[in-house]
Structure 1
Amino acid sequence: MLRRVKAGRPRRAAAAVGALVLVGLLPAPPAVAGPSVPSDDVRGAQRWVLDALNAEQAWQVTRGAGVTVAVIDSAVDPKVPELAGKVTVGPDLRSDAYDGVVPPAGVHGTAMASLVAGSGRDGGLTGLAPDAKILSIPVLTDEPEYRLIEPDDGLGAPVETPISRAMRYATDNGARVISMSLGEYVPQRADRQAVAYALERGVVLVAAVGNDGDSVAARRYGTSFWSFPAGFAGVIGVAAVDRLGRHAAFSSDNLSVLVGAPGVAVPAVKAGGGYVLMEGSSVSTALVAGVAALIKAKYPQLGPELVSRALATTTRGVPAGRYDDKIGFGVVDAAAALRKAGDLTGYRAAVPVQSGLHFGKGATSPPPVRPGPDPVRLWVFGAGVLLGLAGFGAGVVVLTRRSERR
């Protein structure tokens, strides 16, 4: 999720539609309206972001080649220099009426894709996985649009949603990482099943936790409303931090947060070209998706649960108590996460148990006796069959004699 940014204090986004979202509305993220960044200064402007994530050290190991990251968002502009030759645009999945028309390139989707896989061509912006590919799956537009999704009553087949369609499409079309800088307040059954579908096939899911940290409700209750799909088990929920690694006040705080990443004044590419400063947990999500792409490029067989572990156990700025609901386990460190992922490749889910070991000091119980035929039951069964046959035969004889007499 993204917040509108102006020079000075950022504006809060979509605060007035919360009640509608609660009945299943899928809003587009707020449009980007931030200060532009001069083209000759974009590398300097993004330096702090790359340093915060320890990206350049990670690039000595891999730059993400061979991995496709699905960006479920507004449509990505494939013509901007940083993304030229790297983008495949999928079908418009905002509805189930596939008309083959690709929606116009979106500011939000293009920006997120650049943060994931910007090539840095000709001195331009560099994403966290600069050699990765992008699969753009449009489910939103930049203009606020509100489409009522029929609430799922839990009976019969789940009600399909744009997000569930997009996750399945991405999984079936080669994505190894799915970046979702969006969310809704209601957990849809179809979305939950699509999450399970992707995880079962080894796809890493990364999603924004939302931008409700400074909302009236969050201040009143001391926690933010959950956003989905970030709130589903197995999805890496990402919160935003500032230049000092502190929790950004607008970023949602709840137990869906796994890790944090830069999300304040982060340069990104605009649709049509040029650069803009962006703010929100959307930005943080795209950056972490790029780090996940680095891990999958180096260790393609590593499961999503171990990618999550690599990210969460190697963080910087670890909060007191090792975890809090503002930045999770801390700010992602790409290089350290790659090293940890290498260690986890030898992980085995089950530990073999030595034969002969048992609890207590006494002798082990005898092995169970293989079940076999019970003689008594066989005799009873046989006798019953014989008696039944004898009775049947006697009945036939009696009926035959009666018929002959008549």
Structure 2
Amino acid sequence: MLTAVRVLTAAVLAFSGTAAAPVRDQQQWVLDALNVEQAWTVTKGKGVTVAVVDSAVDTGVKELKGRVTNGPDMTSGTIERALPPGRHGTAMAGLIAASGADGGLIGVAPDARILSLPMVIDDEPAFAVPPVQEEGVAPESPLARALRYAANHGAQVVSMSIGSYGPLRSEREAVSYALSKGVVLVAAVGNDGQTPYAKEKGTSYWSFPAGYPGVIGVAATDKQGRRATFSSDNLSVLVAAPGVEVPVLKRDGGYELSEGTSSAAALVAGVAALIKSRYPDLRPEQVAQALASSARGRPAAGYDDQTGFGVVDAAAALNAADRLTGAKQSVAPGMEHFGRGEDSPVPTRPGPDPLRLWLYGGGVLVALVAFCGAIIVLNQRKEE
């Protein structure tokens, strides 16, 4: 299955400037689309670690210096080796937590930290590969190892801008394990929107891990908030975020523009980090609810398989999360009309009924009085 793992960036475009100031100008539309700067008045993600399951992150880039912890190579479960910094992993880490040092690129959660969980992947993938059904029981996949490692080493959010066709049991179990530990899982839904299959069927192949239950699947939108044509459309889509001409960090420094659901997923992982920083006890399903219920540009029907519930709004998601902190249980968006139900009546205490005891006791007393009266009357008659 290793060769099936692919990163989900469709293309890297030329960047118009190399100085520090232009990158902030270039990324301003992304920050505005996600309403990030308003969210920063509340939190910038301090205290949260986001695991980036991707190619290795370049820790020498100025915006990431001192902010990245390197985990072991997830490709092999037995041999630890250092993987060289990757283009894709560095770009995604920057979107999540770049510090903005010296006026450079700034991430959605600039005070968060990155846990790099590298694996060998293809930075220049093809996207028209048909699904492959796995036969038999497979050993634990690199992604499954990464999810368990992240859950056991302090990550509150996992960003997965990768995908493969077809689910694996080891990954399903690892997803469940991470969710049970309170870890928020975010993944790109894929870039198969323009494949012949998608055009013919009106829907795209499912990509995993985005397709696993409990994972927040993210689609890509353009500068107008419309679904990017390459973005996969299927029911794994929960929300959307910018994925066209998004400025990212380059390995070894500098910037470039990216296109793909990879960037969209990393941006949403940053928003999830903001939520977990402010509300660390919020459960993964509640974080997903906060993101979905507060999204902007909601489809006319409330949901569709192209942009999900709409484009993520970081500030509104924080407000929604605040309301959920007092909730005893989460309710999926659109399901509120089912209500929470009435509380069951408190069960009666075991033992005899007090009222019946009084009635029984009163009856016995009346019987005794009548019996004693009868005896007195009989004795009086004998004396006469």
What is the TM-score normalised by the length of structure 2?
0.82
Q: Tell me the distance in 2 between the aligned counterparts of 1:65 and 1:254.
A: 34
Tell me what 2:51 maps to.
70
Answer whether contact 2:50 2:112 (CA < 8 A) is retained.
yes
Residue identity opposite 1:163 in structure 2? L
Residues 124 and 345 (structure 1 numbering): CA distance in 2 closer, same or farther, change over 3 Å? same
Q: Tell me the distance in 1 between the aligned counterparts of 2:327 and 2:65.
A: 38
Q: Tell me the distance in 2 between the aligned counterparts of 1:82 and 1:367.
A: 64
2:12 to 33, 48, 58: 33
Q: Tell me the distance in 2 between the aligned counterparts of 1:168 and 1:229.
A: 14
Answer whether contact 1:241 1:261 (CA < 8 A) is retained.
yes
* Secondary structure class of the residue paired with 1:75: coil
Tell me what 2:280 maps to.
300
Q: Tell me the distance in 2 between the aligned counterparts of 1:52 and 1:83.
A: 23
Tell me what 2:379 maps to.
none
Alpha-carbon distance, 1:29 to partner: 4.8
Tell me what 2:85 maps to.
105
Tell me what 1:355 maps to.
345
Aligned length: 335
CA deviation map 1:87-125 (0-9, x unaligned): 0111111122323x2111001000000000011111001
Tell me what 1:89 maps to.
70
Residue identity opposite 1:68 in structure 2? T
CA deviation map 1:347-400 (0-9, x unaligned): 10277715279xxxxxxxx99999xxxxxxxxxxxxxxxxxxxxxxxxxxxxxx
Answer whether contact 1:31 1:108 (CA < 8 A) is retained.
no
* Secondary structure class of the residue paired with 2:218: strand
CA RMSD, Structure 1 to Structure 2 (Å): 2.4
CA deviation map 1:316-350 (0-9, x unaligned): 11111100000000000000000110110001027
Question: Could you tell which deviates more after superposition, 348-357 or 179-188?
Answer: 348-357
2:100 to 102, 106, 120: 120
1:341 to 307, 318, 321: 321
Residues 288 and 30 (structure 1 numbering): CA distance in 2 closer, same or farther, change over 3 Å? closer
Tell me what 1:49 maps to.
30
Give 5+ residue unaligned stretches, structure 1.
Answer: 1-20, 358-365, 371-406
* Secondary structure class of the residue paired with 1:297: helix
Residues 152 and 168 (structure 1 numbering): CA distance in 2 closer, same or farther, change over 3 Å? farther
Tell me what 1:193 maps to.
173
Alpha-carbon distance, 1:145 to partner: 8.4
Answer whether contact 1:183 1:210 (CA < 8 A) is retained.
yes
Residue identity opposite 2:198 in structure 1? A
Q: Tell me the distance in 2 between the aligned counterparts of 1:339 and 1:355.
A: 34
Answer whether contact 1:106 1:141 (CA < 8 A) is retained.
no
* Secondary structure class of the residue paired with 2:317: helix
Q: Tell me the distance in 2 between the aligned counterparts of 1:152 and 1:285.
A: 30
Answer whether contact 1:152 1:188 (CA < 8 A) is retained.
no
Give 5+ residue unaligned stretches, structure 2.
Answer: 127-131, 330-339, 353-384
Residue identity opposite 1:27 in structure 2? R
* Secondary structure class of the residue paired with 1:33: strand
Tell me what 1:241 maps to.
221
* Secondary structure class of the residue paired with 1:46: helix
Alpha-carbon distance, 1:274 to partner: 0.2
* Secondary structure class of the residue paired with 1:36: coil
CA deviation map 1:193-218 (0-9, x unaligned): 00000000000000000000011000
Pairing of 1:257-276 with structure 2 (within 5 A) = 257-276=237-256
Answer whether contact 2:8 2:188 (CA < 8 A) is retained.
no
* Secondary structure class of the residue paired with 1:285: helix
Tell me what 1:168 maps to.
148
* Secondary structure class of the residue paired with 2:248: strand
Residues 356 and 113 (structure 1 numbering): CA distance in 2 closer, same or farther, change over 3 Å? closer
What is the TM-score normalised by the length of structure 1?
0.78
Matched, 1:129 2:81: no
Answer whether contact 1:32 1:108 (CA < 8 A) is retained.
no
Tell me what 1:227 maps to.
207
Tell me what 1:287 maps to.
267
Q: Tell me the distance in 1 between the aligned counterparts of 2:275 and 2:22.
A: 29
Alpha-carbon distance, 1:85 to partner: 0.5
Alpha-carbon distance, 1:139 to partner: 1.5
Q: Tell me the distance in 1 between the aligned counterparts of 2:202 and 2:11.
A: 28
Residues 150 and 36 (structure 1 numbering): CA distance in 2 closer, same or farther, change over 3 Å? same
Residues 150 and 160 (structure 1 numbering): CA distance in 2 closer, same or farther, change over 3 Å? farther
Identity among equivalent positions (%) equals: 56
Answer whether contact 1:242 1:248 (CA < 8 A) is retained.
yes
Tell me what 1:184 maps to.
164
CA deviation map 1:208-265 (0-9, x unaligned): 0000001100000000000011011110000000001000000000000000000000
Residues 195 and 150 (structure 1 numbering): CA distance in 2 closer, same or farther, change over 3 Å? same
Residues 33 and 330 (structure 1 numbering): CA distance in 2 closer, same or farther, change over 3 Å? closer
Answer whether contact 1:117 1:129 (CA < 8 A) is retained.
yes
Matched, 1:79 2:47: no
Answer whether contact 1:71 1:134 (CA < 8 A) is retained.
yes
Q: Tell me the distance in 1 between the aligned counterparts of 2:177 and 2:112.
A: 23
2:136 to 124, 140, 153: 153
* Secondary structure class of the residue paired with 1:288: helix
